[in-house]
A and B are shown apart, each in its own frame.
Chain A
């Protein structure tokens, strides 16, 4: 979902700015409160494992529902009708993989990072290095896409057009996320995500209700007037406006769908959220809550998207067109509040803008924390110091890493604004599905799986996904590419999943079978006992 912004929303800015400052104040207060509570490594990395299933369910939803899903999906529906809805279906169904195969088993058998779970029965140095590499690649790709999006989105919401001010917005978002993560750790980040989830759900329910009232709660009428107003008629409600125009497009859509459904359960920033609950039972509950919240959220975006198509101008040259759909939700809020220039319209517009701002902050904080944890816990404490680092030095490294990653993200995001890097989100999902998921699943379900298998599947899936994207039309060969004037696009698909996911799984098998390493077979049985029963699992921190 592209976030190229041309025309800002003309708003009474004082209210919007006021609400933005309120979001900043509340989240900073949470951070300083949390920093006084955080003492141990389990506090910093896993919030003391003290969040209830419901709290973590909210935080998982807050971590997962990015500005791309809030503004992007409703915008895609407003522009492309039914096809815009397809993204959200993959995003939701994916949670069943997390629920059935990953969440509880990971909570029981790991400590702080994705790599912990693999390291139980594998040689630690190679496996942790590989898992940390893919964790950092996935999180930084995702983070960069969010930061660049933040510049344009906040610019749109505040009515800022000058490049200098957009740079300032990116620096501001970056500094806030560094503060949350450095001082608040997982506890602060989690509460920021909880606040954001509550704001997002409240705002969405409100606007959805107001749209439905306009159409007398008749979905068919809403669809009918959206189709009519869109100028595309019947086709607006049918598959085909966005995806699958020709055979390559159809295969590309299949590839995207596969990456969406298999990627979620391999996203490191989602995986580490399961460690914040006291038991696997609470981890299960948090996924159940997340499925309920995320599912109802996406159902409401359907109403928001079609509502925007029906009630706001989406024609050529309209703000929704020039913002690639991102302005749809805010403009819809303004319309159902009474329209431009009215008090109700301005209040709702400011409210939805603040929700979008909180959304950006919560997601970037989660991603920064994930990368910092992996640098400190996997690379520093276990690969570099061979498990001999003191907790204090490990936490110091985590904070320095959070600062460093945040600074790098700011420095990369500013020049990247001129590039079309929306593909980075899809790439992050593809890498998560191709590199992380195979290793996690084999480790839990395949006795013979070994170090070489884990290393092969992670690097194999990662390298294949990145290579295929590099040689795809998203990087070169079309006017919309990252490098529009170059031509090295010999791989026709924009999404690598169809090839890279099976390749990652295959690498795991090949690596395992060619390895001469003989793992003690009982380690697999031990891991199974730990994963399924929670015997010896990390307990919550008592305060």
Chain B
């Protein structure tokens, strides 16, 4: 429990909300739809973050410590370093595209359903 001697304002922005909102949030937090929403969000966002960070850091490391490999010509004056740099753009665009698709298909329906439930209960 929060310390009773601290003024209520100190306890956090959340304490300005009506008690009913808190109850509702905690009800929603237990619902299977919410548990599923959180699982779906995390199961995409966290592995994708690890993947693009590893892919980017590997590129940075190769710029430092694998220069012979990076200097290898692919076609004309274009070498592996430049191709890999351009692939960082491609991978960024691709991950962004797949996240947008995942969010639209798997996250948005659940989040808007839960949000509607909250709005209905609070009358907003």
Q: Judging by beta carbons under 8 Å apart, are B29 and A525 in contact? A: yes
The docked-state distance in angstroms from the alpha carbon of A95 to that of B52 is 11
Contacts of A224 in B (CB 8 A): 76-77
Q: Are B17 and A536 in contact (CB under 8 A)?
A: yes
Smallest CB gap from A285: residue in B: B100
Inside 8 A of B6's CB, which chain A residues have their CB? Answer: 123
Q: Any chain B CB within 8 A of the CB of A244?
A: yes
User: Cβ of B28 and Cβ of A281 under 8 Å apart?
Assistant: no
Q: Which of A76-135 contact B (CB under 8 A)?
A: 82, 85-86, 89-90, 92-93, 95-97, 99-101, 116, 119-125
Give the complex CA separation of A243 and B99 in angstroms: 33
A86 touches B85 (CB 8 A): yes
Binary contact track B103-123/A, C-beta < 8 Å → 1, others 0: 100001011101101110010
A101 and B49 contact, CB distance less than 8 A: yes
Q: In the complex, which residue of chain B has the Cβ closest to the Cβ of A104?
A: B103
Distance (whole angstroms) from the CB of B66 to the closest CB of chain A:
9
* A122/B37 contact (C-beta < 8 A), A253-B63, A254-B61 known: no
Please determine whether B14 and A101 come into contact, CB atoms closer than 8 angstroms: no
Q: Which of chain B's residues 1-52 have a Cβ closer than 8 Å to chain A?
A: 1-2, 6-7, 9-14, 16-17, 21-22, 24-26, 28-29, 34, 37-38, 41, 44-45, 48-49, 52
Whether the Cβ atoms of B85 and A100 lie closer than 8 Å is: no
Q: Are B49 and A532 in contact (CB under 8 A)?
A: no
Point out the residues of chain B lying under 8 angstroms from A480, CB to CB. Answer: none
Q: Within 8 Å CB of B96, what residues of A?
A: 95-96, 99, 287-288, 291
Query: In the bound complex, what is the Cα–Cα distance between A518 and B4 (angstroms)?
Result: 12
When A238-B81, A523-B14, A530-B25 are in contact, do A387 and B9 touch as well, CB less than 8 Å? yes
Give B124 Cβ to nearest chain A Cβ, in Å: 8
Cα(A536)–Cα(B123), bound, Å: 11
The answer for the CA separation of A373 and B54 in the assembled complex, in Å, is 36
In angstroms, Cα B49 to Cα A101, docked, is: 8
Asked whether any CB of chain B lies closer than 8 Å to the CB of A295, the reply is: yes
Q: Within 8 Å CB of B29, what residues of A?
A: 522, 525-526, 528-529
> How many Å from the CB of A450 to the closest CB on chain B?
11
**Chain B positions within 8 Å of A82 at CB level:** 81-82, 85
With A and B bound together, what is the CA distance between A101 and B6 in angstroms? 33
Partner among B28, B53, B65, B81 whose Cβ is within 8 Å of the Cβ of A533: B28
Chain B residue at minimal CB-CB distance from A109 = B13
- Chain B contact surface mostly: helix
User: Is A414 engaged at the interface, CB distance under 8 Å to the other chain?
Assistant: no
Is the CB–CB distance between A101 and B78 below 8 Å?
Answer: no
Does the CB pair B25–A529 fall under 8 Å?
yes
Contact residues, A34-81 vs B (CB, 8 A): none
Question: What is the bound-complex CA distance between A534 and B34, given in angstroms?
Answer: 12
B115, A534: Cβ atoms closer than 8 Å: yes
CB distance from B96 to the nearest CB of A (A): 5
Nearest B residue (CB) for A250: B64
Contacting B at CB under 8 A, from A120-163, are 120-125
Separation of A57 and B14 alpha carbons in the complex (Å) = 30
Q: How far is the CB of A541 from chain B (nearest CB, A)?
A: 15
In the bound complex, how far is the Cα of B10 from the Cα of A160, in angstroms? 54
- Cβ of A492 under 8 Å from chain B: no
- Kindly identify which residue among B41, B60, B78, B82 contacts A254, using a CB–CB cutoff of 8 Å: B60
Residue A298 interfacial (CB < 8 Å): yes
Does A238 lie within 8 Å of B118, measured CB to CB? Answer: no
Which of A101, A284, A387 has the largest number of chain B CB atoms within 10 A?
Answer: A284
User: Cβ of A239 and Cβ of B25 under 8 Å apart?
Assistant: no
Q: Which residues from chain A contact B124 at a C-beta distance below 8 Å?
A: 536
Question: CB within 8 A of B63: which of A86, A284, A530?
Answer: A86
CB of B78 within 8 A of CB of A99, answer no
13 A-B residue pairs with CB within 8 Å: A96-B52, A96-B92, A100-B99, A121-B14, A237-B77, A239-B81, A254-B60, A298-B89, A519-B2, A526-B25, A527-B14, A533-B28, A536-B25
Excluding A93-B92, A221-B76, A281-B108, 4 further A-B contacts by CB distance (< 8 Å) are: A239-B63, A257-B56, A387-B9, A529-B28
